[in-house]
């Protein structure tokens, strides 16, 4: 039985796309008779839970949590290189300091290491010059120590060219929230309340849709606080006079998610950067039609699926005009096409391809 260590900066009880991805990857790899564990940091950055247990088993997955110096952007994990000797394969998620540390350690110990890009660390423009310099020096050096790097999107595949001789396009997989097709008039955003998601611009656009175009339907904003506060967004919503049309939920359980999604027909995201676009595809899997910012990942998916629309939320008046014009032309056939395209991103297929790559390299 292959013993695999998945390394990710944040994990359960942290909630987010990457945390969900790693959990789902482990679930499907275990079905292929792999023995999987997780290595992560001992603190959830956007939480008051404090220091978490060093070892914990959640949903039959063993989690190792380690201390670290630094902050969420730049940190150094306090873990002995000998720890990694217990595993046949080490799989790192994203290109943070874990990526650099594991690459060097596993090269020295001759343990096969792999990494999934998840968009790297370019989700915001903060410290952009330093990030690019780091990426083209340190990341290039440590990336060469991996057996292969799995690019989550076409955008990542291009971005990481030259960082490793084996850059494999491995688009993320999704878990559909249900087996229904939505027929509602409401709009939904799903994701962290994070600065690079530009939820304020999304709200501005929705306000124009309501006031200028008399669009029916409400806006549902679903996701945990990150570096944007619900209170700040609620203040903006009240200032715009649309408090009766917008609800911010925070994290919701699956049963409540189903109830919300069945009222909706459209997926909104003004995110300036996405590692892949998982929440959009999950929405499409139940027939939601996306209206999304034309960042690299969203644009690639819209072009591949030939369903949904890119709109520039930086200009709310123009974005609202485009959305209002498109709404009247969306059919049930479009929703079926969205669902069919999203289901091409299958977890069983991705888990099998990943294990095959472990064995090949």
Radius of gyration, alpha carbons of the chain: 21
Question: 150 and 26, same structural domain?
Answer: yes
Q: Range of 321's domain?
A: 186-342
338 with 350, same domain?
no
Question: How does the average pLDDT of the chain come out, rounded?
Answer: 93
Tell me how far apart the alpha carbons of residues 254 and 177 are, in angstroms, rounded to a whole number: 8
Same domain? 117 vs 233: no
CB atoms under 10 Å from CB of 158, counted, come to: 12
Indicate if 106 and 245 belong to the same structural domain: no
What does the pLDDT average to over 66-79? 88
Residue 181 resides in a domain:
no
- The answer to pTM > 0.85 is no
In a domain, 179, yes or no: no
Res 50: pLDDT: 87
**Residues sharing a CB contact under 8 Å with residue 50, sequence separation 6 or more, in sequence order:** 43
Q: Which helix (H) or strand (E) holds 255?
A: helix 254-261
pLDDT tens per residue, range 143-168: 999 999 999 888 889 889 988 999 99
For position 127, what pLDDT does the model report?
55
Q: In the chain, pLDDT over 70 holds for what percent of residues?
A: 98
What pLDDT is recorded for position 329?
94
- Residues 245 and 277 reside in one and the same domain: yes
Total number of domains in the chain: 2
The per-residue pLDDT for 125 is 55
Q: Indicate whether 294 and 190 sit together in one domain.
A: yes
pLDDT of residue 154: 85
Q: How confident is the model at residue 274 (pLDDT cuts 50, 70, 90)?
A: confident
Q: Please say if the pLDDT value at position 292 is more than 90.
A: yes
Residue-level pLDDT at 122: 57
Tell whether 256 and 157 lie within a shared domain: no
- pLDDT tens by residue, 33-48: 999 999 999 999 877 7
Q: Are 38 and 11 in contact (CB under 8 A)?
A: yes
Q: Quick one: 138 and 203 in the same domain? A: no
Q: Both 249 and 100 in a single domain?
A: no
Tokens describing residue 67? 């201390």
Same domain, 139 and 269: no
Cβ neighbours, 10 Å, residue 332: 10
- Tell me the C-alpha distance between 245 and 304, whole Å: 33
CA dist., res. 183 & res. 155, Å (int): 32
Interatomic CA distance for residues 255 and 252, integer angstroms: 8
Instruction: Decide if pLDDT at 272 tops 60.
Output: yes
Q: What is the 8-class DSSP label of residue 274?
A: -
Please give the pLDDT value at position 205.
98
Query: What CATH number should be reported for the domain holding residue 95?
Result: 3.40.50.2000
Bridge partner list, 55: 64
Confidence at residue 24, expressed as pLDDT on a 0 to 100 scale: 95
Q: Where are the beta strands (DSSP E) in the chain?
A: 3-7, 35-41, 55-58, 61-66, 68-70, 75-77, 89-93, 113-116, 148-151, 167-169, 186-190, 219-222, 246-250, 264-269, 289-292, 309-310
DSSP 149-169: EEESSHHHHHHTTTS-S-EEE
Per-residue pLDDT reduced to its tens digit, 158-215: 889 988 999 999 998 999 999 999 999 999 999 999 999 999 999 999 999 999 999 9
161 and 203 share one domain: no
Average pLDDT over residues 93-107: 94
Q: Which residues on neighbouring strands pair with residue 89, listed in sequence order?
A: 4
């Amino acid at each position: 039985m292959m013993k695999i260590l998945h390394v990710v900066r944040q994990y359960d009880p942290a909630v987010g796309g990457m945390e969900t991805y790693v959990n789902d990857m482990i679930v499907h790899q275990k079905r292929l008779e792999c023995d999987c564990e997780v290595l992560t940091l001992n603190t959830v950055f956007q939480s008051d839970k404090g220091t978490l247990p060093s070892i914990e088993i959640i949903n039959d997955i063993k989690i190792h949590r380690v201390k670290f110096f630094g902050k969420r952007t730049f940190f150094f994990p306090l873990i002995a290189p000998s720890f990694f000797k217990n595993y046949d394969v080490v799989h790192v998620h994203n290109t943070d300091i874990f990526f650099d540390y594991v690459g060097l350690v596993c090269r020295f110990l001759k343990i096969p290491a792999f990494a999934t890009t998840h968009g790297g660390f370019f989700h915001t423009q903060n410290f952009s010059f330093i990030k690019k310099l780091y990426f083209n020096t340190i990341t290039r050096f440590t990336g060469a120590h991996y057996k292969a790097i799995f690019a989550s999107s076409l955008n990542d595949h291009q971005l990481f060219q030259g960082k490793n001789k084996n850059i494999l396009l491995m688009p993320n997989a999704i878990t559909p929230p249900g087996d229904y097709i939505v027929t509602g008039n409401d709009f939904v955003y799903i994701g962290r309340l994070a600065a690079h998601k530009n939820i304020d611009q999304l709200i501005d656009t929705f306000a124009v849709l309501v006031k200028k175009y008399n669009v029916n339907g409400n806006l549902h904003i679903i996701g945990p606080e990150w570096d944007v506060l619900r209170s700040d967004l609620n203040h903006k919503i009240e200032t715009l006079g649309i408090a009766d049309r917008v609800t911010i939920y925070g994290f919701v359980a699956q049963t409540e998610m189903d109830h919300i999604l069945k009222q909706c027909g459209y997926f909104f995201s003004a995110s300036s950067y996405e590692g892949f676009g998982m929440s959009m595809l999950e929405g499409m899997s139940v027939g939601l039609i996306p209206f999304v910012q034309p960042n690299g990942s969203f644009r690639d998916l819209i072009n591949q699926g030939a369903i949904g629309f890119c709109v520039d939320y930086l200009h709310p008046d123009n974005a609202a005009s485009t959305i209002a014009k498109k709404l009247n032309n969306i059919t049930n056939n479009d929703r079926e096409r969205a669902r069919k395209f999203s289901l091409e991103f299958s977890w069983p297929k991705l888990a099998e391809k990943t294990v095959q790559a472990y064995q090949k390299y």
